[in-house]
Structures are given as structure tokens and as C-alpha cells.
Amino acid sequence: MNPGAFRTTPVRPRFTSRRGLPLFCILMILGCAESVLASELSGIDLRVGDAEIRVSGSLKPDAKSMEDLTRGLTKELNFYIDLFRVWKVWPNEFVLGRKIVRSLKSDPIKREYVATSAEGNVQTEKRFRNLDSMIEWALTLNDIQLTPTAGLEPGEYFVKVSVESFIRKLPPVIGYLLFFVPEKEFSLSRNSTVFRLPAGGAPK
């Protein structure tokens, strides 16, 4: 080898994978913590009378969801209340449904808690003194009228209640760091027991 020849040495980049990996892992852990929510949709209660079908139920949030609201995250919950007719040979038939959107906003500094419930063009807004009372109101479906029974054909039916949770607004610092946090947190559903409507709409 010529002693006068230049000898090249690979230059290691200043930002190595060893330095970048811990930061990436931290961000991923924080992002997963924001996106995973193990809430529970309680049993669906039906009141099937001679004139109508009414539905009740509630969503029980876990500690992580409560913590998010305490930190000022704005969330939106979409409730779907759907009536299905049961068929033994064919797939279950969707008959009709209602969609109710509940939004929860909290300001931990001002101690303001505001929730809205919207269905179509009708919207109701309520203010609460504490987080617990807002959660109880916003995550409860209390005796919701689904449909009159008079217009339904005889057969077996059940009601499916579904809920989807979305983060609509992140605090500025969290939103800047966790730009990859998924907007949709979770989706849950639960079916009621099957009930039968004979001719005339009176339940059995």
C-alpha cells in the first residue's frame, strides 16, 4: 500500500440510532397510553311495551379516561342504537337506528365542565360543577325512545348499542409531541336479549 495514499474512515452520523431509539420508544409509549382505553359498556335494558321500544344503558369509563378529561382533553362519543330483526337463514336485518353524539369538555384551571348531546339538528348543552356529574350524564342512555312497535312486522328482534370514542382536542403541548395519536380511541358494542313481537306489536 502506498504510504502517501489517503485513508478513509467511515463517519458516524451525529444522531445515531442509539440516541434516537429511546426518544422514539418514549413517544410510542405515550402515544399508546393515549389511544388505549379499556372502558366498559354495561348491559342493555329494554322496555318493550304495547306502544314503543325504549332503551337504557351506560358506558363506564376507566381511570385513564378520567385522567384524560382531568388534563383538559375534549372528547366525543358517538352512540348508535340500532334495531335488528332476527332471521334464521338470512343475516340479521337492520330495521332502524338512532345516533346520539355526546361531547365532553373540561377546563381543569377554570374548573369548568360542559357536555353537549346532539341528535340531528337538536342539541342540548349542560354545565356541571364537577367531572363526575358530567361523566354520569354524558355516558348514560336513559330511557331512550327507539321506535313505536305498531309499525313493526311480527318476528324476533334485538337492539344493538354501539359507542365510539374520539379525541377532538389535545392540549397544545401534547398535541405537538404526539402528532401520531389516533383520533379514534375505541369502539364497543353490546346486544340486548332477543324479544318477539307478534301481530299487532304487543311484545312476548
Residue 17 maps to a domain: no
Predicted pLDDT of residue 37:
38
Structure confidence at residue 201 as a pLDDT band (50, 70, 90): low
Domain count, the chain: 1
* pLDDT single digits (tens) 166-190: 876 555 444 444 445 556 778 889 9
C-alpha cell at position 160: 344493538
Side-chain half-sphere CA neighbours of 101 within 13 A: 11
39 Cβ contact list (under 8 Å, min separation 6)? 59, 60, 61, 62, 65, 165, 186, 188
Asked if residue 24 lies in contact with residue 2, where contact means CB atoms within 8 angstroms, the answer is no
Q: Is 2 helix (H, G, I), strand (E, B) or coil?
A: coil
* The residue count for the chain: 204
Residue 203 maps to a domain: no
Residue 9 maps to a domain: no
* pLDDT single digits (tens) 78-109: 999 999 999 988 999 999 999 999 999 988 88
Residue 60 belongs to domain spanning: 39-197
Residue 11 maps to a domain: no
Q: How open is the CA angle 169-174-176, to the nearest 5 degrees?
A: 95
